[in-house]
Structure formats: C-alpha cells, structure tokens
Structure 1
Amino acid sequence: MKTLQILLYNVFFFFFLVGFILANREDLDVTVDWSMVNEAENDTNLNKVNTDKAWELIQQGEYELSKDILVNLEDNTKSPKVFNLLGYVERHLQNFNQSIEYYNNALILDPNYIPAHHYIAMTYLEMDELESAKSHFYKIDLLCLFGCEEFFELKDAIAMYEENNG
C-alpha cells in the first residue's frame, strides 16, 4: 500500500510539473517553413560529409587537401569542429600561431568543446608553453568529471613533457 501511495504521488508530481512547465513557457510559433528545415538539414549533412572527408585526408597525411576542404567550410559555417580540424592541420604543418588562432575560434563558438582544449594544449606543449597547456588540461578535468580519453592522453603528454624538460 505504501509503494502505491509513493507511485501515485510521483505520477501526480510529474503531471503537475509538466503542466507547470507548459503553462509558463513562451508561446511558440507553430508555423514552420519546411523547405528551410530541409535546406538546413541538407547543409548540416553536407558539412558532416565534408568534415568526415577532411578527417580521412588528415589521417592519410594529406594536410593541404584537407585544409582546402575545411577553409571552404569555414566560410559557410560556424562550427567548432571545423575550426578545431583547421587548428589540427595547422599544428601538423608546424604553423603553431595559426593553429592556436583556429583552436581559439573553436573555443569562442563552444567554450566547453573538449577536442579544442585537448589539441590547443598539445600545441602549447610543442611551443614549450607548459602553463598554457596546463590551463586547458584543468578545463578538460572539469569537463570530463570521470576522465575521458582526451584527459588521460593530455595527462600523459604533460607528464612526459615535465620528465623530459624538468
């Protein structure tokens, strides 16, 4: 009987909460221009195909070809992924300052974009700027509460840097 009361209370609370939220939301314009939705969806799909192609070229070491694809995407989209990949390419081409600029653009668009924090920190290590690398490492530590691949990889890279440059 007690569990039934608790269940009924939770169901009542759920419907009360949903009703409260619906009653207090702003009126939404329910008219949708579906052609615009499909156009935006097509742009998103095209961007994904192009970023996937750019990443494939990067993995093959074709940095200049991938850069051409990504620069065209940069002109048409404001995606942290595109800026992050451009930073990655520039880092591998040893253009560290340009790389940092692209990573910062990615972080302006999404301050919590973990891959950009990871790669900018790796770039700072290559530039012998340990403290700058650590500041992004600490940000990743906050964003990845239970650790993530980027956190552990950067932790190892910083430890190796400190060991070799200690």
Structure 2
Amino acid sequence: MRLHKIKRPGGLYTFDFSTVAEDDDGTWLLAPIGSPWRAPHDSGRSTVPVVVLLATGRPWATWWVGDPADRRLEIDVCLPPTRIEEGWQYVDLELDPVLHRDGNRVEIEDWDEYDESIRTGNMTSDDAKLALVTAEGCAQLLRRRSEPWLERGWKLLADAG
C-alpha cells in the first residue's frame, strides 16, 4: 500500500506501508525499517519504524516515529485524507503539532513553511484557516493525552520493533 503526501508546490512524497488494522479510529499503517520512500529530490529506505493513523473526513494524519534519538508523535495537518486505488493520499497544510516523547514537549512546527505557502498563494485562505484551527486543536489533544489511540500507536510501533 502506498501513501502519497502532496506538498504544494514541493511535489509528491510517496511512502510504502502495510495495513495493520482498521477500526473506529481509522486505518493503521506500518512502515518498518527499510521501507521505501520517494520524494521529488531523492529516494531511499526508512531508517526508523513508523506507524500512521489515517481517517477520511479528518484534516490530519498521525505519525508515530520510532527514532531512538527523538521518539515523537507528529500530526500532519492536511486536507482530509482520501482512499485511492493504491492506498491513501492527502495534501499537506504545512503545520505539524509534535509530541516529543522524551520530555513530553509539545510544539507546532513549520510556521515558516505555512507562512510561505500563504504568501506565495500555494494555500488558500480557507485552507490556511483550517490548518491553523486544526494545528491548535491537535496540539491541545497532544498535551491532554486523553485519546486512547495515542497510546495505541506507540504499542503498534513497539510490536513492530
């Protein structure tokens, strides 16, 4: 299964995953170490395991990243993901709430990319509003850690390890 992440104007980023579960929270994907990825400027294989949770109608995708130097949960704020023939795709809206597991620090990253997308017209004002509201809401969700699926992602990542 493939996940296509579309960055405007950066192009198409493609990741190979396998589906590990589908439930009320969405579709759970796994990319173990060595999984292929492709970007407009490069390609390679993942050096860390990753679990992704996607759901149609929800303007974000959650990535659990098993990087030993910085285990983190990243939320890609995006236009709602859609299923396509070969897997999933979404348009990235730049802002990324991130929970760094060590220290439990939450921050919103990529403000510079967000500002540039607005300035260059690569993001509509409606998409910019959606990105801002969603990023702030997701950052609060990460701070509260009240959703059971937050820990489920870490478990799936550990089980894949």
Same fold (TM over 0.5): no
TM-score by length of 2: 0.32
**Which structure has the greater CA radius of gyration?**
1
Higher relative contact order, structure no. (Cα contacts within 8 Å, ≥ 6 residues apart): 2
More strand by share: 2
TM-score by length of 1: 0.32
